[in-house]
Structure 1
Amino acid sequence: MTYFTRTYDWFTANADALLIGGIVAALLVLAMLALRWLGGKMVARDPRGHHWKGVVGRVLSRTSIWFMVAAALDVVARYADMPPRPEHLFYALFTIAAALQAAVWARELILGVVHRNAGEDPGGSTLGSATAVIRVLVSVALFGLALVAILDNLGVNVTALVAGLGVGGIAIGLAAQGIFSDLFAALAILFDRPFRRGDTIRYDTTTGTVERIGLKTTRLRSPSGEQVVMANTKLLEREIHNLAEAHSRRVAIPFGLGLRTPPARLADVAPIATVALASVPGCTLVRCVLVGIGSSSLDHELLYDDDSLDPDANAARKAKVIAALLTGLDSAALLLATPTQTAFSAAPDGTLILPWAPTTGRGEA
């Protein structure tokens, strides 16, 4: 019996099974093509992957034709009673295609989650740089696992390979632990978003505006103009004050009145401060109270909220508030304190001579 005769007899004996397997395989391919098309539509509606639909669409759109064909052949082989060699060949093809396709799906899912959690790029080039690094690391890890799975399913002993990969990974991790530490810190900043590019932050005694969040360092521009570079790991170990997340700026203006100011006149200070703050739009009085008695002054504190987060606008409004406060105090004849020393003397008969004239109702410095 010739080869062609045996093949014809096999097709004749398995015609029904081949037909059913072909129909199932065709339906499977059509379903995967439909899911791939749907994924492309979802990606087109959300190209940046800010929502879960975009992430799922990104995964579905990366379904390869090679995997569809391998899956269809495997379905046909399972329905038909194929000879061992073709069946083993189709199984090997499906194993390779399925492992590689699973790695691609997993990679796109991880990168999609990265993009979704990061949202708009908060760190300039950080998202692009981090994505490139993450893509390399994830691709190496996932395709390495896919290779191990393929070899294991094809009957290859992968114990020594897995052990070698484990030892190599530990060696690389120990050698580059500093780099990975800063990288993970950059990813923590990227995902947790304690600050973004353009935010003004303060840590320790340093204040600056974030210019760039890199994979290893964060660069800030200080108010005096120089650039401050800080390692991401060290930066996250500190207590960070994000000034950009404030709803308003609370500003304190300390001032003092002369010690000879009559106590009854102190009640006029708060209304004067209220009028001064009302003359500056965007500023709201919190309190203006007497906070202490100094060696030569009655110490007051004016506290107000400025609804602007711009440092230049804050400084300009503060100057206006101070000017309005000085005008109000001068109109009310309340004099600011100046550092003074009082010398007391006595007449020949021992009578104390006061170093000031009798009060006339005006506050004396």
Structure 2
Amino acid sequence: MSNSSSAAKAPVLPHHNWDEQFRVLYQSSSEWIATHWLQIAIAVAIAAGIASALIWARSLGPRLASRSSSGKGWPAVFGRAIQRTGTLFIILLAAKLVSGFADAPWPVARTINVLFGVAAIFQSAAWAREVIIGAIERRTRSDAYSGEALMSAMGLIRVLVSFAVFAIALVVVLDNLGVNVTGLVAGLGVGGIAIGLAAQGIFADLFAALAIIFDRPFRRGDSISYDTSSGTVEEIGLKSTRLRATNGEELIIANRKLLDKEIRNNARRPFRRTTFTLGLAYETPLEKLDGFPALVKGVVEAAGLTYIRCGFMGFGASTLDFDIEFDSESADYAAAYEGRHKVGIGLLRMCAEQGISIPYPTQTTLTAAPDGKLIMPYPDSPEPA
């Protein structure tokens, strides 16, 4: 059990006695070439064919990328990733595939495996970098999210992604080669914390911008409500998002603050509902009160809106209150505003035609003397005849 554990932790290529290692590799390679030259020649020919096929497959990358006319789709992203396949990786892959056929000795086969492992790790890092950056560019270049600030920030994003991906690849390679990477990982962690603390505001806004791009709570052109403000999204930037309020003001909100509170995206509403209360006089006949919802429905539909409901809501101080609800079949605020105006004027006209009174609150003040008798300003009423 202890022997297997020790073997698992042993370096792939021991770093001591390099001269002896190279001497053994040279001697075994010479003997192998002298005794297996025919197999080696066949293996080299097969490897050349495999490498040629892989290089041809790599040339398909630009064709795949050209399938997307805008250069923003996933075919373009994967096409550019395929283009980043290195020739050294292709050669080592072909060599690894044919090394068993050529009956390579252990030192040669082990060297090929180690070199291929290193190349495969860095090649995977290059592919991952291209896919990650391509995915981010695919969002930032779209018409709904494009902005000068975000496009200029792509340089910083490329540097950060490249550093992170290749730093991880380097740590993995060194660990596979038997190097103790504990100190390196700790150093990278401390350095990352220091950089993060120094620029936490910038990174917070940057990651918030990326969250907006990928989570898509809203996009450019959407009408949103945030906290006590509302407006149309004009630009999603690196640090802030700009809104155009209905009164023409430009609202600039930090991205991290924008995501900290509830956002209502009005552009994704299938309709806008309007609700208001209309009070009728207590003197209104019961038959007119009972038929009032039907009259309201006619007014709403005549305005081109969708009637939802109308009904008695409660007894007010001076009115019988009716609740009225109707929808504008559009997310456009201007259309809902115009519809509310038409319904309001239509209700006033309908009440006037039906003889229904809409009273306003009034108060009657009675002034009494200490003995309870009414006094001025109310004049004494004449005695009845």
Change (3 A) 1:83 1:242: closer
- Unaligned ranges ≥5, structure 1: 1-6, 352-365
Find out whether 1:106 has 2:116 as its counterpart.
no
Match of 1:42 in 2: 64
Which residue identity is paired with 1:332? Answer: Q
Q: Which stretch has the larger CA shift, 71-80 or 159-168?
A: 71-80
Tell me the distance in 1 between the aligned counterparts of 2:97 and 2:309. 79
The sequence identity of aligned pairs, in percent, is: 43
Tell me the distance in 1 between the aligned counterparts of 2:230 and 2:178. 61
Tell me the distance in 2 between the aligned counterparts of 1:61 and 1:240. 41
Match of 1:138 in 2: 161
Q: CA deviation at 1:175?
A: 2.4
Tell me the distance in 1 between the aligned counterparts of 2:310 and 2:31. 103
**Does structure 1 conserve the Cα–Cα contact (< 8 Å) formed by 2:328 and 2:335?**
no
Tell me the distance in 2 between the aligned counterparts of 1:76 and 1:316. 76
Tell me the distance in 2 between the aligned counterparts of 1:124 and 1:45. 22
Correspondence for 1:253 among 273, 276, 279: 276
Correspondence for 2:346 among 288, 300, 324: 324
Which residue identity is paired with 2:278? Answer: F
Change (3 A) 1:27 1:202: same
Per-residue deviation, residues 102-150 of structure 1 (Å, max 9, x unmatched): 2111112323444678894532327645654432212001222333445
For residue 44 of structure 2, give the secondary structure of its aligned residue in structure 1: helix
Tell me the distance in 1 between the aligned counterparts of 2:173 and 2:253. 44
Tell me the distance in 2 between the aligned counterparts of 1:155 and 1:334. 92
Tell me the distance in 1 between the aligned counterparts of 2:31 and 2:207. 63
**Does structure 2 conserve the Cα–Cα contact (< 8 Å) formed by 1:210 and 1:220?**
yes
RMSD, aligned CA: 3.6
Per-residue deviation, residues 252-277 of structure 1 (Å, max 9, x unmatched): 23322223222222123222212211
Which residue identity is paired with 1:298? Answer: L
Change (3 A) 1:295 1:157: closer
**Does structure 1 conserve the Cα–Cα contact (< 8 Å) formed by 2:267 and 2:332?**
no
Match of 2:355 in 1: 333
Q: CA deviation at 1:71?
A: 3.7
For residue 285 of structure 1, give the secondary structure of its aligned residue in structure 2: strand
Per-residue deviation, residues 154-196 of structure 1 (Å, max 9, x unmatched): 6766554333223212222232233322222222221111111
Match of 2:329 in 1: 307
Find out whether 1:233 has 2:250 as its counterpart.
no
For residue 251 of structure 1, give the secondary structure of its aligned residue in structure 2: strand
**Does structure 2 conserve the Cα–Cα contact (< 8 Å) formed by 1:121 and 1:127?**
no
Q: How many matched pairs?
A: 342
Find out whether 1:22 has 2:25 as its counterpart.
no
Tell me the distance in 2 between the aligned counterparts of 1:189 and 1:206. 18
**1:157-172 to 2 correspondence within 5 Å?**
158-172=181-195
**Does structure 2 conserve the Cα–Cα contact (< 8 Å) formed by 1:50 and 1:115?**
no
Find out whether 1:178 has 2:198 as its counterpart.
no
**1:138-217 to 2 correspondence within 5 Å?**
138-151=161-174, 158-217=181-240
Which residue identity is paired with 2:129? Answer: R
Correspondence for 1:272 among 295, 301, 317: 295
Find out whether 1:61 has 2:83 as its counterpart.
yes
Per-residue deviation, residues 184-237 of structure 1 (Å, max 9, x unmatched): 222222111111111111122111211222232222122222222222222222
**Does structure 2 conserve the Cα–Cα contact (< 8 Å) formed by 1:218 and 1:230?**
yes
Correspondence for 1:295 among 299, 309, 317: 317
- Unaligned ranges ≥5, structure 2: 1-28, 367-377
Which residue identity is paired with 1:214? Answer: G
Tell me the distance in 2 between the aligned counterparts of 1:317 and 1:159. 68
**Does structure 2 conserve the Cα–Cα contact (< 8 Å) formed by 1:32 and 1:68?**
yes
Match of 1:361 in 2: none
For residue 259 of structure 1, give the secondary structure of its aligned residue in structure 2: coil
Tell me the distance in 1 between the aligned counterparts of 2:275 and 2:317. 21
**Does structure 2 conserve the Cα–Cα contact (< 8 Å) formed by 1:36 and 1:61?**
yes
Tell me the distance in 1 between the aligned counterparts of 2:216 and 2:297. 39
Tell me the distance in 2 between the aligned counterparts of 1:188 and 1:318. 37
Change (3 A) 1:350 1:22: farther
For residue 305 of structure 1, give the secondary structure of its aligned residue in structure 2: strand
Q: Which stretch has the larger CA shift, 21-30 or 150-159?
A: 150-159
**1:322-361 to 2 correspondence within 5 Å?**
322-342=344-364
Q: TM-score, normalised by structure 1?
A: 0.78
Q: Which stretch has the larger CA shift, 33-42 or 293-302?
A: 33-42
**Does structure 2 conserve the Cα–Cα contact (< 8 Å) formed by 1:118 and 1:191?**
no
Which residue identity is paired with 1:142? Answer: V
